[in-house]
Amino acid sequence: MATAKATPKSSEGVSGRAPAGRESKPAAPQRGADILIEALVREGVEVIFGYPGGASMEIHQALTRSNIRVILARHEQGEIFSAEGYAKASGKVGVCVATSGPGATNLVTGIADAKMDSVPLVCITGQVPTSVIGKDAFQETPIVEITRQITKHSYLVDRIEDLPRVVKEAFYIARTGRPGPVLVDVPKNVQQAYMVPEYPETLSFRGYNPHVRANPEQIERVAEAIREARKPVIYAGGGAIASEAHRDLYELATRMNIPVTTTLMGLGVFPETHPLSLQMLGMHGSVYANYALDRADLVLALGVRFDDRVTGKLEEFAKHGKIVHIDVDASELNKNKPAFIPILSDLKPALQMLNRIAVAGDYAAWHAELDEQRRRYPFSYKETDGAILPQHAIQVLYEMSKGEAIITTGVGQHQMWAAQYYKFVEPRRWITSGGLGSMGFGLPAAIGAKLACPDREVIDIDGDGSFIMNVQELATAYTDNIPVKVVVINNQHLGMVVQWEDRFYESNRGHTFIGDPTGEGIYPDMVSICQGFRIPARRVSRKEELADAMREMLDAKTAYLLDVIVPHQEHVLPMIPSGKTFKDIIIE
């Protein structure tokens, strides 16, 4: 049976020393599951999200003998979304454990989500014993094969001797280069076997070089392009956060006086309250951000992948500008949009080199042009007398939380409104499912983020359709005393699909109403659901009730849900229809 493994080349110098006071080589043989957990401890793991089953019981038994905190989710999708929230908020590798068969397959959406959004995860799955693999044993699935296209790397550990090395490699791969999920599949007989473990101190790989650096000649070309430009713009994405390059980006933008727009995944990498911020671009981005990319003569694309929700019609996107694309992933360069200067590099050292030599051009006329667009087309909505509009609710939350909360979201209209009306001034305060767009992400991600940042207020801004998909994680919040807050923007519909129905399908409803078909009140009753989980909750439907309810939620010392009833007719605007251009933008 083949074991997925990397081939050693030479010492990389990755630290793997045993913690102080521990023997580097135990005197007696240890069980495989205990070796696995010890290897996790040596990687600094403090929290694991899991759900036990027959093929992972040995792992959970070993966890009871460790100091690692185990968060018992109520569904495997909940656990992996929590691990993502933990990783996104902390910058550390998130870890989750599931059993074989359905337990492992329930992780698949989260693995794909982490791959799309470049989230460092190590997903450990129990597997049936090696003697019955491939024989349709009870709760057997070939999870390595199932997830091969959505992991950064995968291992089937069929020898106990490989466990310490595999765990160390898995963490190194997950967190270096472009981060991503790594799967470690451990058969039950390997968990039960015994050996005297040897934990590696260093690792290296043939064919895997995550530490790529731009050369000086490339950076000099970028500096020259900046100097010659008259309409430059910085287009920054999640890669700038993963690279911890936000301070270097800030220095470049403010010293060069270049406006900055970010992708959905890049929110917070540059403070949105800064005069140079154009906020988010793309399908539901600001008019002025999309205008800037349409008119720019130089686009500094930093840690982005030219996603279709940003570009619309590729041939028309930034067609007047020279594109400088800096990314750590070689496969992204020239993949969607050809670059004038493509640079394979970790973003942080590339920006540090650029900051040492770059000289600004004259951009006064460009700033005046963009300021006029800001004045004419701000994010806006029409106020109402009684009903609560979702934009208003999020704006009130932003003001009352002083913009200091970590915000997680589900997927849909509420996600876009949160991106528009909650301004982020630091990275890792905005946690959402961007590339895959996984509904049900918000609540479990908030749980993970709160465990990563216990001193921060963590608020899930969710939709009723998205929230109900992982509502069972309220039990996790209650039993582990994790005081996350939830604001449900409840319009009784699958709001984003309804918006597309209104715009492109003559308002024909294709199963997008999720309320009570009899029309008898709000359904489901979120407050009653919360009561069953022993979570405090309150519902509001009038503007005059909102501030008091919001204050009650923010003051709560436990988990709390605020159900905000809003009209379903509201649309997220601006909107550039899929596959269209800036010229097709819908403003009203």
DSSP single-letter state for residue 542: B
Is 492 a known active-site residue? no
Is 76 a known active-site residue? yes
Name the residue with tokens 């973003």.
347
Considering 9, 138, 192, 198, which one is annotated as catalytic?
A: 138
Does the CA dihedral 290-292-298-302 come out positive or negative? negative
**Residue 333 CA to its chain's centroid (Å):** 21
Paired residues of 344 in beta bridges:
327
DSSP single-letter state for residue 307: -
Measure the CA–CA gap between 128 and 188, rounded to whole angstroms.
6
Measure the CA–CA gap between 422 and 456, rounded to whole angstroms.
16
The phi and psi torsions of 528 (rounded to 5 degrees) equal -65, -40
Question: Collapsing DSSP states into helix, strand and coil, what is residue 367?
Answer: helix
Measure the CA–CA gap between 570 and 496, rounded to whole angstroms.
10
Considering 76, 79, 84, 332, which one is annotated as catalytic?
A: 76
Q: Please report, to the nearest 10 degrees, the dihedral formed by the alpha carbons of residues 493, 289, 114, 71 taken in order.
A: -70
Considering 88, 152, 188, 348, which one is annotated as catalytic?
A: 188
Considering 5, 12, 139, 313, which one is annotated as catalytic?
A: 139
Residue 325 gets the label, from left (phi > 0), alpha (psi -120 to 50) or beta, of beta
H or E segment and range at residue 66? none
Is 322 a known active-site residue? no
Residue 427 sits at the vertex; the CA angle it makes with 380 and 448, to the nearest 5 degrees, is 100
Is 188 a known active-site residue? yes
Measure the CA–CA gap between 53 and 484, rounded to whole angstroms.
27
Residue 505 gets the label, from left (phi > 0), alpha (psi -120 to 50) or beta, of alpha
Identity of the residue numbered 265: M
Measure the CA–CA gap between 252 and 59, rounded to whole angstroms.
47
Residues in the chain: 588
Measure the CA–CA gap between 209 and 176, rounded to whole angstroms.
9
Evaluate whether 295 touches 369 at the Cβ level (below 8 Å): yes
| Per-state percent for the chain, helix, strand, coil, to nearest 5 | 40, 15, 45
User: For the residues of 13-50, what is the DSSP string, one character each?
Assistant: ----PPPTTS-SS-SS-EEHHHHHHHHHHHTT--EEEE
Considering 116, 283, 353, 496, which one is annotated as catalytic?
A: 496
Evaluate whether 246 touches 269 at the Cβ level (below 8 Å): yes
Contacts of 168 (CB under 8 A, 6+ apart): 14, 16, 39, 42, 43, 199, 200, 203
Is 550 a known active-site residue? no
User: For the residues of 509-539, what is the DSSP string, one character each?
Assistant: -SS-B-S-TT--SSSS-HHHHHHHTT--EEE
Give the pair of three-digit tokens for residue 540. 């509001």
Measure the CA–CA gap between 558 and 382, rounded to whole angstroms.
34
Measure the CA–CA gap between 100 and 308, rounded to whole angstroms.
35
- CB half-sphere exposure, 212, CA atoms < 13 A: 17
H or E segment and range at residue 382? none
Residues serving a catalytic function are: 76, 138-139, 188, 496
